Chain A
Amino acid sequence: QVQVQQWGAGLLKPSETLSLNCAVYGGSFSGFYWSWIRQPPGKGLEWIGEINHSGSDKFTPSLESRVSMSADSSNNQFSLKLTSMTAADTAVYYCARLYCTSSSCYHLWGHGTLVTVSS
């Protein structure tokens, strides 16, 4: 059963860059899309973007100018960078696998990392 393990800095100052990583265990890395999704405290979920093993990516328009993702097939890992962080970016950040059937897809989530932006 595929599992994801994520890590990265949990406390940032305004204007710093968020860097999070996610490792994939127990299954194939190639052939799937891998997502980042965040949830501000007490609020709903926001899809940030996704990437596949070959680096094909897509991002939500509201964050596209600040976000980048990368995929490392040799180590079964993918990562998220979000620049110019502000307090509004404080959230739990989840990495997730996009699981697809023959006709539809849904996300299988990691445990999440709380990222706080504060001076």
Chain B
Amino acid sequence: NFMLTQPHSVSESPGKTVTISCTRSSGSIVSNYVQWYQQRPGSAPTIVIYEDSQRPSGVPDRFSGSIDSSSNSASLTISGLRTEDEADYHCQSYDSSYHWVFGGGTKLTVL
């Protein structure tokens, strides 16, 4: 099986752009779609990106996702940061048995 590794925390100022990485330990990142969830304090996660780069309806276009095969990683980019974006962000993918795998989560601070 594989692991997904995320930075423990990132921080950036309002209005700026931040990128959160999610690196797959083995196997190719392009083999299985990556999802990203936002989890505000005390709340359940909600989807912000699915299928590597697709936004569900209602998610602002400030949120974007991408895949980089050279670094075997997925990235979530948030532009025009707002204080309401402060949350934990979790990446997710699945293995060959269609078992779901989560990254450890990244705490985003908007200061």
Contacts and interface: CB of A to CB of B under 8 A. Distances in A.
A110 B105 contact: no
A112 B51 contact: no
A97 to B, nearest CB: 11
A53 to B, nearest CB: 17
Given A101-B51, A103-B33, A112-B44, 10 more contacts: A46-B102, A60-B99, A61-B99, A105-B50, A107-B37, A107-B47, A107-B92, A109-B45, A110-B44, A111-B44
A45 B51 contact: no
Interface in A18-75: 35, 37, 43-47, 58, 60-61
Contacts of B54: 104
Contacts, number: 55
Nearest to B50: A106
Contacts of B46: 109
A108 B51 CA distance: 15
